[in-house]
Chains A and B, each alone.
Chain A
Amino acid sequence: MRKQMDGMFNKILIANRGEIAVRMICACKELGIRTVAIYSEADRDSLHVHLADEQICIGPARPADSYLNIPLVMSAADLADVDAIHPGYGFLSENAGFAEICEACGIKFIGPPPDVIRLMGEKEKARQAMKKANVPILPGSDGVIASAREAAEWAHQIGYPVIVKASAGGGGRGMRIIRSVAELDHSFNAAHVEAKAAFGNGDLYMEKFIDGPRHIEFQVLGDTHGQVICLGERECSIQRRHQKLLEESPSMQVSEEMRQVIGEKLESCLASIGYVNAGTVEFLMDEDGALHFIEMNTRIQVEHPVTEMVTGVDLAKAQILIACNARIEEIIPKFERRGHSIECRINAEHPEKFTPSAGRINTFLVPGGPGVRVDTAAYAGAVISPYYDSLIAKLITHGKNRQEAIIRMRRALEMFTVEGIHTTIPLHRRILEDDQFIRGEVDTQYLERLLQLPSRAHGASGQGSSTTLAAVA
């Protein structure tokens, strides 16, 4: 296997599927790099397989037997003789062991170094690293809690409600909200058992629990020469059960001063730990508008396009260039933010019940026109299989301000036709017409509140809310 550390890669294997695999193929095509798609039996007719220069079937549909299986992915990389692997998001993207194996095989892993992935993967260590750099973190236990008795002491000091989380965890497992001392023993022990079962490590830490916070995250890029740049924030509060549904940039709640202060702290903190490549630092914003670090994702995010739209930085290409040792100032000679961008995740789900909707897409008409971007791997005739996540498209709009981005999103949603399966398009149309959303009054419980309201007919409400929007703007 060859590796050209200082030249451009000749060939990259994309260890992922769906829209992110297509997104990376776009970047590679623009950089003149050959692409290798790996796929499972269920993805034989997937778009990423069709668009890549080479394609290798590596196993059956079950992710553990294909996309998540390191020996099979590496065997394909070996056969195709690639210089680098892009892991996308999900699957092996935050697996430090996989990054290490790539390194041992002389294949560049397009992402941070394994030890940095590992550091950020251990939530408590990540918290301490941020705390040391004066990045505001949620009040919490300093490190792992040894017992329920110690937990009670911490909870008393932090103040209820608190949340215990698995040190090695994610996705809500090993996590408990504790609202009073009466609940403490039971919840702490349950979280410990759950964390041990799920991650093989029962270590827990505790944080202050914020009711109805906003979810705000900052995009960063680090190069191999020690420079880290913060590319501003994304507002990702509209979510359901920790699954983001609509994201935008910039956030209406983040002032220029706050953006500057947090950005500089993140840049120096991440430079000091040797952060390389794209990453996202997630914060919760409390009702007083203060930000608190929660965790860092050491990969490209689903919602990266809204940052691309407002900064003009192609993050996918930047990831590849950084892996080839390019400097930030070569990739981003001049940095400025422009306008506002919104992304709606179009999922193959029932828009109100959120049940997955697998099946064949009969009609797939994608909107276009000024300020509209669609990242997708779907097409008319494609089959949405039940094995993978339900994201079928990301609809992104950009406008000179939030108002224009909203108006564009409304018309783009209206022009987006998907038939054969249920999608979240009707839900997004409802959100885009909602007064609270238009005023920017969103938090992580926003969607729950919206779904409790009776839904209005869409066609009839168009004009009425345009008036509302004009009044607010």
Chain B
Amino acid sequence: MNYTDRAELNLFDSMTHVAEPTLQSRDATAAIRQPVVNGQTGLPASLLSSSFVSWPQFTSTMVAPVVEENVHILKSQTVGIFHASKIPGTQPFVELGTVVKPGQIVGVIEILRLMIDVKSDLSGEIVKKLAGDGEPVEYGQPLFAVRSSQ
């Protein structure tokens, strides 16, 4: 993807509060929160809730082992915009060196103004950030490298 020139996209600027959870996945590991922008969501609520819109079922972050021993890649399980923190400019969910537990939120991915938590499903240390804050990500794109503590 080549979206480096995409400067205008900053959907969090006008975000006033976050209503949660509006949708939940099968095993509830990925809660989807819906930001309310000036009292309105990005899409008409009637459309989002209509029967022909079926949201994908997010189970957990996809994990793939990589070259280095014990280092795993957390991949994006959807197409959207990756956010490292809840609100831009504030403390990111994780930093390099942060030790995460299974289920811990490491970022959020925004799909059509809906926020999907990205959760780690293993214990370990964040050794590399592979996606930039506010960067568009596609399905299967690497987000973090985690050194497993097992």
Question: What residues make up the interface of A, taking CB atoms closer than 8 Å to B?
Answer: 41, 54-60, 64-66, 69-72, 74-76, 78-81, 95, 97-98, 100-101, 104-105
Contacts and interface: CB of A to CB of B under 8 A. Distances in A.
A105 B112 CA distance: 10
Interface string B38-81: 00000110010010111111000000000000000000001111
A69 B79 CA distance: 11
10 contacts: A55-B1, A58-B79, A58-B138, A59-B56, A64-B54, A69-B56, A75-B111, A79-B1, A79-B79, A97-B47
A58 B80 CA distance: 9
Contact of A104 (B43, B54, B80, B81): B43
B140 interface: yes
B150 interface: no
A72 B78 contact: yes
A271 B52 CA distance: 28
B93 interface: no
B53 A58 contact: no
A95 B43 contact: no
A95 B140 contact: no
A252 to B, nearest CB: 41
A98 B6 CA distance: 26
Contacts of B44: 104
Nearest to B52: A97
Interface of B: 1-3, 6, 43-44, 47, 50, 52-57, 78-81, 111-112, 114, 136, 138-141
Nearest to A65: B56
Contacts of A104: 43-44, 47
Contact of A100 (B47, B80, B138): B47
A104 B113 CA distance: 14
A122 B80 CA distance: 34
A71 B55 contact: yes
A95 B114 CA distance: 23
Contact of B139 (A58, A80, A81, A98): A58
Nearest to A103: B47
B140 A41 contact: yes
Given A56-B79, A78-B112, A101-B53, 9 more contacts: A66-B139, A72-B56, A72-B78, A75-B112, A79-B80, A97-B47, A97-B50, A100-B47, A101-B47
Nearest to B44: A104
B52 A72 contact: no
Contacts of A65: 56-57
B54 to A, nearest CB: 7
Contacts of B140: 41, 57
Contacts of B3: 79-80
A54 B3 CA distance: 10
Nearest to A60: B139
Contacts of B52: 70, 95, 97-98
A54 B2 contact: yes
Contacts of B2: 54
Among B50, B56, B57, the one with the most A-chain Cβ atoms within 10 Å of its Cβ is B56
B139 A71 contact: no
A75 B43 contact: no
Contacts of A58: 78-79, 138-139
Given A56-B138, A71-B112, A105 B43 contact: yes
Contacts of A55: 1
Nearest to A59: B139
Among A57, A75, A76, the one with the most B-chain Cβ atoms within 10 Å of its Cβ is A75
B53 A57 contact: no
A324 B61 CA distance: 41
A56 B141 CA distance: 10
B53 A97 contact: yes
A57 B139 CA distance: 5
A70 B111 CA distance: 11
Nearest to B55: A71
Contacts of B6: 81
A70 B56 CA distance: 9
A252 B43 CA distance: 50
Contacts of A56: 1, 79, 138
A74 B1 CA distance: 16
Contacts of A78: 112
Given A41-B139, A58-B139, A79 B47 contact: no
A64 B56 CA distance: 8
Contact of A70 (B54, B57, B80): B54
Nearest to A76: B79
Of all A-B residue pairs in the complex, the 5 with the closest CB atoms, nearest first, are A97-B52, A57-B138, A75-B111, A79-B136, A57-B139
A69 B52 CA distance: 9
Contacts of A54: 1-2
Contacts of A60: 139
A134 B112 CA distance: 45
Contacts of B112: 71, 74-75, 78
Given A54-B1, A75-B79, A79-B136, A101 B43 contact: yes
Contacts of B141: 57
Given A57-B79, A59-B79, A104-B43, A72 B111 contact: yes
Contact of A69 (B43, B54, B80, B81): B54
Contact of A71 (B1, B56, B81, B138): B56
Contacts of A98: 52
Contacts of B81: 79
Contacts of A72: 56, 78-79, 111, 139
Contacts of A41: 139-140
Nearest to A95: B52
A100 B112 CA distance: 15
A226 to B, nearest CB: 28
